[in-house]
Structure 1
């Protein structure tokens, strides 16, 4: 397909489709196709995915946040979008250094769980496709390791329980899905819907607020491939929870759940017991989640006592 037709298609779609999120009854949050896309504030650009040629192709564009100038565009065969990571249309897919972008195939409106999941790894500077990934089963984007060697995915396996999820790791060097799921061994049956997300500055830790049997934060160590589930003590209603966002404070030492009015509704201490400086947080120290495991156990003991 000539590049001139791609540019024309992108311009037409941009005019009539400001933003669209596609989940279509799927287990994952779906993908975003449209002008909002994914903002990379550190580099002053935005990445957007625009369907073209009846959805048979996708135009990927990099746009300056100031002025809206398109600085680069590329194309990929198939219908792809910026992957969603929460039900509130938060998106992800960009590596912490801004050099790699992962896009995911848009749902086709078929069965709830996909039989095959397709993703593509794109060079964020040239927007050329590095590699394509096709996995049997229902997988969606979750996170990237800081070195860009590991892609973390959310896997759903049960139509009867769409809240149940598994975190899987895909080795981008060997192009192989690792066999074991990444689970919190104190809470192996992870289940819930993703509502909000934040991450440490370098992407070593990714924190996702879930609503399952109760609200909790799923903490993923993207360096060592470990996960910890931290229960939240929550006194507000479900609507407040759904409208809240996560914020790291005290240089990554505390994680706060903040409502729409800016009020802190819950706080998790991410520091090891007895430590007082932000440089000794588990996230900063990179201690493979041992401290967060201790925090999780302590929180559960307190919850049982209450």
Structure 2
């Protein structure tokens, strides 16, 4: 077993750093004409709506500032799970991050940090291929997933970006008990505690990863696992799961326990969010 966050936390996906059912983050997506898209995320007591057009993005906050924030360019709320809901807000809804709709271009990934109290924005450019993972509860740190070559291998590390110093911390956020072990996987589900201190992401083997032609030499294929990101202190655990866990399984946080289950399967699994201990249960 390897025990190694996100991006908790947490939404795309990675070496460790990361929700389909988080009661205090209700998310919906409205269909719009091809040139315009609208997504909404509710965090804390506010609802954040992002409307993206070709050259202009508008951010409005219900329960917060009355005037929308206008940002040049096409920006979207990020998704950690490809077919999952949008994410990107702090647990209290005071801050959010947008990703450039075009994704990484020219070896640079661009994000827009939003202060939703002051209704101000700040551009962040990171060299490499990065996607969003999670926020720290106080909004001081953003966790990004840094995708590693070869392309489409599913290899990754989690990096912490300090908002005040405007820089990535030098070391990856990883399970120290598996130091040096490369990670690869595809995120399929996420859940987090209400306070955002623990963010859990369920990964399954990547379709190419260390299995496919052209990706030899990446080490043994990884089975399914949960990445636990402890977002308040930038630490992580990775917990291996039995091979039966695959697409169709979901995760949910109840108290201090992460539950992993599938409706038609009687057997389920639970992970203690403090110790990372895995147990088997029967539903």
TM-score by length of 1: 0.67
Q: Which has the higher contact order (CA 8 A, sep 6+)?
A: 2
> Are 1:257 and 1:264, in contact at CA under 8 Å, matched by a contact in 2?
no
2:61 aligns to what? 62
Give the 3 Å change call, closer, same or farther, for CA 15–88 of structure 1 in structure 2: closer
1:214 aligns to what? 223
Post-superposition offset of 1:108? 5.7
Among 48, 51, 59, the residue aligned to 1:49: 51
Q: How does 1:121-136 map to 2 (within 5 A)?
A: 121-125=113-117, 127-129=119-121, 131-136=122-127
2:33 aligns to what? 16
Q: Verify: 1:267 aligned to 2:252, yes or no.
A: no
1:172 aligns to what? 163
In 2: Cα distance, 1:139 partner to 1:248 partner: 27
Q: How does 1:156-235 map to 2 (within 5 A)?
A: 156-160=147-151, 162-187=153-178, 188-212=181-205, 213-235=222-244
- Secondary structure class of the residue paired with 2:171: coil
- Secondary structure class of the residue paired with 1:83: coil
Give the 3 Å change call, closer, same or farther, for CA 97–263 of structure 1 in structure 2: farther
RMSD of aligned Cα (Å): 2.9
> Are 1:72 and 1:126, in contact at CA under 8 Å, matched by a contact in 2?
no
Q: Structure 1 unaligned runs (5+)? A: 1-12, 21-32, 65-69, 271-280, 283-290
Post-superposition offset of 1:262? 7.6
1:8 aligns to what? none
- Secondary structure class of the residue paired with 2:130: strand
Among 247, 250, 259, the residue aligned to 1:245: 250
Post-superposition offset of 1:109? 8.7
In 2: Cα distance, 1:84 partner to 1:171 partner: 21
2:17 aligns to what? none
TM-score by length of 2: 0.72
> Are 1:61 and 1:73, in contact at CA under 8 Å, matched by a contact in 2?
yes
| Stretches of 4+ aligned residues off by more than 4 angstroms | 262-265
> Are 1:88 and 1:196, in contact at CA under 8 Å, matched by a contact in 2?
no
In 2: Cα distance, 1:47 partner to 1:262 partner: 35
Q: Verify: 1:140 aligned to 2:140, yes or no.
A: no
Give the 3 Å change call, closer, same or farther, for CA 39–156 of structure 1 in structure 2: same
Post-superposition offset of 1:214? 1.4
Give the 3 Å change call, closer, same or farther, for CA 262–41 of structure 1 in structure 2: farther
Q: Structure 2 unaligned runs (5+)? A: 1-29, 206-221
Give the 3 Å change call, closer, same or farther, for CA 176–71 of structure 1 in structure 2: same
Q: Verify: 1:258 aligned to 2:264, yes or no.
A: no
Give the 3 Å change call, closer, same or farther, for CA 263–95 of structure 1 in structure 2: farther
Post-superposition offset of 1:181? 0.8
Higher helix content, 1 or 2: 1
Question: How many matched pairs?
Answer: 232
Give the 3 Å change call, closer, same or farther, for CA 44–115 of structure 1 in structure 2: same
> Are 2:46 and 2:61, in contact at CA under 8 Å, matched by a contact in 1?
no
